[in-house]
A and B are shown apart, each in its own frame.
Chain A
């Protein structure tokens, strides 16, 4: 069985602060994908990143960075110099590979960035 835990439920920061969203996962598969999605108030899911389990390199995209650590089964997401537009719910998700793969979502973290 797969499981994704996002222990933080709500985070509030002031604009320009850095914030890290934690994600811990459980899976018996050796090959899998990890994802982060952003869900703004409009409701539409915005894809942020997909990471293959074989690729443990950290990734940076502008103000976003991701730290994948297989040893601790974690895939944390950091927003540097947060902005009000970053306010949203962020979901971490896990899927195994293959034609029958399904996405398992964490419960989400509500991030509020105050001006």
Chain B
């Protein structure tokens, strides 16, 4: 149980274009999902917390207009990187919290590797 998928697993896009990454909880409902970014040889940095049916909460320093998050259902959150630039190249990881889980544990997706050329 508690499987989280991400699509695509890797994507290459040209500078200036937008790319959308999907995060799905496959066998549970997730009121809350999280988006992380990980640069090479660095730790995971939380970008934003996404709550179903409401606006995402962004961490300090993360541009909300550049990283658009939509959490329209209890099983799907999307992250759109708008007008991507090479510095946005990174490994993006989502996690989801099972609504019924009182421990508030996060289940992680396999990640999406974004390369902007």
A residues near B, CB below 8 A? 33, 37, 42-45, 47, 50, 91, 95, 97-103, 105-108, 110
Contacts and interface: CB of A to CB of B under 8 A. Distances in A.
Q: Which 8 A-B pairs have the closest CB atoms?
A: A44-B110, A45-B108, A43-B111, A105-B43, A107-B43, A105-B44, A101-B104, A108-B43
B46 interface: yes
Interface of B: 32, 34, 41-44, 46, 49, 91, 93, 95, 103-111, 113
B108 A44 contact: yes
21 contacts: A43-B110, A43-B111, A44-B109, A44-B110, A45-B108, A47-B107, A47-B108, A50-B103, A91-B43, A91-B44, A95-B104, A97-B104, A98-B104, A102-B34, A103-B46, A103-B95, A103-B106, A107-B42, A107-B43, A108-B42, A110-B41
Nearest to B10: A43
Contacts of A45: 44, 93, 108, 111
Given A43-B110, A45-B44, 13 more contacts: A43-B111, A44-B109, A45-B111, A91-B44, A95-B104, A97-B104, A98-B104, A102-B46, A103-B44, A103-B95, A103-B106, A107-B43, A108-B42
A44 B111 contact: yes
